[in-house]
Amino acid sequence: MANYDELSGALGRAVFFRPERARARDFLSRHARPTVRVGDAAFPVHDLSMNGLSVLTPPDAAPLELGHVVELSLYVHGRVVFQGAARVARVEDGGRASRIGLALTRGFIDLPAMARQDQEARLQLELSLGADPYGDLISDEYRQALQRAVHFVQFYREVLGRHEARYKLQGGQAGREAIAELQAKALDALSEPWREVRLAAAYAARTVWEDRGVRFTAKALTETVLTPLLLDAPCVRRSYEKPLDYPGDYQVMLYCYNDAWEGDTVFGRVFHRLWLQHPMPSGVRTRRDFVVDLAVREHSHLAAADRDAPEFRVTSLGCGPALEVPSFVERRPRWSGRVVWTLIDQDEEALSVAFQNAQPALSEARGESSLRCLNLSFTQLAQDPTLLRLTDQQHFIGCSGLFDYLRASAARELLGVMYERLAPGGLLAVGNAIAPNEDMWSPEFVLDWSMVYRTREEMTGLARDLPEGAQAEVTLEPGEAYWYLLIRKPGGGA
Ligand SMILES: C[S@@+](CC[C@H](N)C(=O)[O-])C[C@H]1O[C@@H](n2cnc3c(N)ncnc32)[C@H](O)[C@@H]1O
């Protein structure tokens, strides 16, 4: 699964061919421990491709000097899988470790063969270590909470399946109505008990959170015993399987917005909707309304200030399905002047859905408009802001569901790029999942969907590098699942 600051957008892939580079921890199994040996020194591998790799070196390690050519061996599961020579091509100093890029000058790494060797070694380990080799690391409290969740889900899987089969036998219109009634009744009856089970698991998860190894073991146990039971719920399946390689793709977002009876079985449909009652998916809906309110307000202010046909320029960064556009038009079906929407996403498929949602809505509005969809990643924007082609500065820029995946340094950098694109008096609204968060068990442990949860102070801190005069405030959206960092650029009569 890719992190958001690694998603490259269209340009990165289309113009320059580079052999695929994979992070070792995503590409190889947990016990592979890929290691490079140069002489007597051993370094953990960070990422690798067929023609190079990068390793991490602690501050006190013997230096690998830029430009030097070294003989190296690569080990996976303690066995040599490659020997060759490499030039030290890059040295990035970090706090606890430096990252050294090594470009092979002799030989190439056969990644598919390495993956096969890894899987064979993994199979050996799985057969010999057993199902729960590190089980004693996990607290009894977490085990019990997880057991309760498994029991709950298994029980209602059987109950709902049995009654669905009974009504199906009945057949016809009466059977269909009985099934519709069954799912509505079940949703109603299970909402509160499931919420309790979820919160109890989240509370117990604090006992396995601090230590990374323990957390990993508890997540693995959860994914083994609970997640598979829930895969009939479409939003659980899509969120867990991540078919586009990143979490929270446009289809997952559409599930959150639609909050509909989706799934092939009553059990699947009921748990799909139970899942969407969690504060984070339901907050996706409230935060969209919150952001649209802001955009509508900014538009009204601009229209009031400039009665001669103003142009309102609004951008959504990481737009996904862009349901903010139809929602904006619903709230503001007519305007004088012109509204120019720019939708940006690294995922072409998401942009195509965004276009299909936004274009019909804008053409139904009684007001002039235009729509631009840009397939760009923010890394590309940061490297070359002219790619944004927002020669015209924006009156409003909204960004929801993107900062939750960015480390603080990347988040501050992106904020700088967005601020730079803001018109004087314009407003920036950046959302992020809240910390402390008493309910992150479902995404983290069941769906393997990791996010950066931020406190109010951490949100405020993201704005610290902005130019003097930037006015920042942090507020909660009405669902209270996401903070919004609101930044106004001075000037423009605002
Ligand atoms: C969780 S979704 C949120 C979508 C939308 N803002 C919403 O709230 O409905 C995050 C979106 O950000 C996009 N995204 C992720 N990383 C990105 C990047 N580096 N540059 C641009 N878009 C990115 C994803 O493709 C995805 O559509």
340 and 475 belong to one structural domain = yes
Give the CATH number, domain containing residue 60: 2.40.10.220
Query: Which pLDDT belongs to residue 12?
Result: 47
453, part of any domain: yes
255 and 114 belong to one structural domain = no
Query: Which pLDDT belongs to residue 377?
Result: 86
321 and 259 belong to one structural domain = no
- Domain final position from 277, 308, 331: 277
Residue 204 CB coordination number (10 Å) = 23
CA 145–ligand 1 middle distance (angstroms) = 33
112 and 148 belong to one structural domain = no
Query: Which among 342, 305, 355, 367 has a CA at the least distance from the CA of 422?
Result: 342
296 and 412 belong to one structural domain = yes
- Domain final position from 129, 158, 188: 129
29 and 125 belong to one structural domain = yes
192 and 265 belong to one structural domain = yes
307 and 235 belong to one structural domain = no
Tokens of 224: 């083994």
Please state the atom number of ligand 1 nearest to the C-alpha of residue 257.
9
- Domain final position from 277, 293, 328: 277
The amino acid at 83: Q
86 φ, ψ (degrees, to nearest 5): -145, 150
260 and 289 belong to one structural domain = no
75 and 143 belong to one structural domain = no
Do 382 and 419 form a contact (C-beta atoms < 8 A)? no
493, part of any domain: no
Query: Which among 109, 96, 98 has a CA at the least distance from the CA of 22?
Result: 109
Query: Which pLDDT belongs to residue 96?
Result: 72
Q: How many residues does the chain have?
A: 494
**Ligand 1 pocket at CB < 6 A:** 4, 7, 248, 250, 253, 284, 318-320, 345-347, 350, 377-379, 400-402
88, part of any domain: yes
Measured between alpha carbons, how far apart are the two ends of the chain, in Å? 42
CA 446/CA 223 separation, integer angstroms = 6
CA 330/CA 268 separation, integer angstroms = 32
Please state the atom number of ligand 1 nearest to the C-alpha of residue 4.
16
178 and 220 belong to one structural domain = yes
The amino acid at 378: F
Report the run of H or E that residue 107 belongs to, with start and end.
none
Please state the atom number of ligand 1 nearest to the C-alpha of residue 8.
19
430, part of any domain: yes
Do 357 and 322 form a contact (C-beta atoms < 8 A)? yes
461, part of any domain: yes
CA 260–ligand 1 middle distance (angstroms) = 22
Query: Which pLDDT belongs to residue 18?
Result: 56
Please state the atom number of ligand 1 nearest to the C-alpha of residue 321.
9
494, part of any domain: no
CA 174–ligand 1 middle distance (angstroms) = 43
**pLDDT tens readout for residues 213-234:** 999 999 999 999 999 999 999 9
The amino acid at 174: A
Question: Which residue range forms the structural domain that includes residue 237?
Answer: 135-277
Mutate to test the pocket of ligand 1, among 239, 346, 388 (most ligand atoms within 8 A of CB): 346
CA 185–ligand 1 middle distance (angstroms) = 35
Per-10-residue mean pLDDT, the chain, length 494: 61 51 86 92 92 87 84 94 94 80 92 93 90 87 98 98 97 96 98 98 96 94 97 98 94 98 98 98 98 97 82 96 98 94 95 97 95 88 69 91 94 93 96 92 96 97 96 98 98 69
442 and 453 belong to one structural domain = yes
CA 293–ligand 1 middle distance (angstroms) = 20
227, part of any domain: yes
Task: Tell me if residue 448 falls in helix, strand or coil.
Answer: coil
Which residues 6+ apart lie within 8 Å of 60 measured at CB?
A: none
CA 346/CA 8 separation, integer angstroms = 7
> Which residue's alpha carbon is nearest to atom 18 within ligand 1?
377
> Which residue's alpha carbon is nearest to atom 20 within ligand 1?
377
Number of domains, the chain: 3
411, part of any domain: yes
> Which residue's alpha carbon is nearest to atom 3 within ligand 1?
401
Give the CATH number, domain containing residue 418: 3.40.50.150
